[in-house]
Amino acid sequence: MTTTALNNLWNYLQGLSLSQSDREWLANKLVMPENSVLNKTAEERKADFLRLAGSWSDEEGEEYYQMMKHRNDGRPANREINLDD
């Protein structure tokens, strides 16, 4: 990323109304090595997602988790996009 893009991202993040736990989560994501995310099991990733979706009831969180998990099913992996349209 360019310096300008990083500054824009920083300004955007400062404008968000984040709780202390949200700030800690974001900080951990920014400093956490990428490979540690890959070592999580599917159940651990699901538990993390449902923890972040804590404002929903268990049924709504599970329903949304399943929708997000399968959001790309049936989509071609390498779509051609015409940027001239």
Residue 54 lies in a domain: yes
CB within 8 Å of 61: residues ≥ 6 apart: 49, 50, 53, 54
d(CA 1, CA 83): 22
Residue 28 lies in a domain: no
In this prediction, residue 28 has a pLDDT band, given cuts at 50, 70 and 90, of confident
Using one digit for the tens of pLDDT, what is the confidence trace for 29-68?
888 666 655 678 888 877 777 777 665 555 666 777 777 7
Using one digit for the tens of pLDDT, what is the confidence trace for 38-49?
678 888 877 777
Residue 13 lies in a domain: no
CB within 8 Å of 47: residues ≥ 6 apart: none
Residue 64 lies in a domain: yes
Q: What percent of the chain has pLDDT over 70?
A: 68
Mean pLDDT across the chain: 76
The boundaries of the domain holding residue 67 are: 39-73
Residue 50 lies in a domain: yes
Query: How high is the pLDDT of residue 30?
Result: 80
Q: How many domains does the chain have?
A: 1
Q: What is the pTM of this model?
A: 0.34
